[in-house]
Amino acid sequence: MPIDSGKLALLLLAGVGAGLTGATAGLASLVSYPALLAAGLPPLSANMTNTVAMLGTTVGAATGARPELKGQARRLLPLGLITTAGGGCGSLVLLLTPSGAFTQVVPGLIGGASLVLMAGPRLRRRAAHAGHRGIGPVTGGAAFLVGVYGGYFGAAAGVLMLALLTTAWNQPLARANAAKNVATGAANLIAAVVFGFTGEVDWPAALVLGLGSVGGSWLGSVLVRYLPANPLRIAIGIGGLVLAVVLGRAAFTG
């Protein structure tokens, strides 16, 4: 069913918000996914459309965070290959499992991701003294699993990746955040390619949402250098928990 111009305009605004929150708090999909549902897309189509649209977040965030990405290529290349493999596996899991299973799993994923989001600062403080460098087997395995999650659904995959990178790499939060955006973007890219051949992607919605996310993520990657993200992180986390409850009731009682 075609989406009318009014809903497309709302998706554009949602894309800006998703890009902004994704680049600063790692939770773009908790803004963009509900917007697609509100526009009338069924859950599975909304997820695939969202995956394609959020490529705009990667582009905007990488452009805005070029100073923070400088000098990270040696570590980001293997990390990106690992998350790409994970994203491909996650997208195949989504395609090979019943669509009803996705509807029932999503509330739990959103709820868990929201809790991880709100616990993120505490996790980073505990890991701040670690001082690990490079990508060892544990870091690589964890990055692969985050990539799988990103390819399957992806809400708060950035939060999980940021927590991992701040544990594994001893560097400022802004640099870890920039690396997070690239790593999760790699998982998103391969999943988007797979979903593009399914016929489930609503391309006008993906284009409009993606365009909005480019601008929002560019702004977010700049703001993260100067603004504390804790109030935004907590607000989005609470909103995510509310959304999980609403979707859970719809999935198990509707």
d(C-alpha 215, C-alpha 25), whole Å:
16
Tokens of 187: 């998982």
Where does the pLDDT of residue 128 fall: very low under 50, low under 70, confident under 90, or very high at 90 and above? low
Place of tokens 């929150």: 21
Predicted confidence (pLDDT) at residue 123 exceeds the cutoff of 80: no
Place of tokens 């998706």: 11
- Predicted confidence at residue 124, as pLDDT, reads 60
Give the Å distances, CA to CA, from 211 to 4, 14, 53, 190, 215: 17, 10, 8, 19, 7
- Predicted confidence at residue 127, as pLDDT, reads 56
Tokens of 171: 């560097």
Where does the pLDDT of residue 121 fall: very low under 50, low under 70, confident under 90, or very high at 90 and above? low
d(C-alpha 60, C-alpha 181), whole Å:
10
Where does the pLDDT of residue 234 fall: very low under 50, low under 70, confident under 90, or very high at 90 and above? confident
d(C-alpha 212, C-alpha 216), whole Å:
6
- 97-110 confidence digits (pLDDT tens): 887 787 788 788 77
- Predicted confidence at residue 232, as pLDDT, reads 65
Predicted confidence (pLDDT) at residue 239 exceeds the cutoff of 80: no
Mean pLDDT of 144-158: 88
Q: Which range scores top for mean pLDDT: 24-28, 45-49, 167-171?
A: 45-49
Given a contact cutoff of 8 angstroms between Cβ atoms, the answer to whether 17 and 60 are in contact is: no
Decide which of 129 and 86 is more confident.
Answer: 86
Predicted confidence (pLDDT) at residue 180 exceeds the cutoff of 80: yes
Question: Cα torsion at 171, 172, 176, 178 (round to 10°)?
Answer: -130
Mean pLDDT, all residues of the chain: 85
Decide which of 116 and 120 is more confident.
Answer: 116
- Predicted confidence at residue 113, as pLDDT, reads 72
Tokens of 229: 């993200």
Place of tokens 């790699």: 186
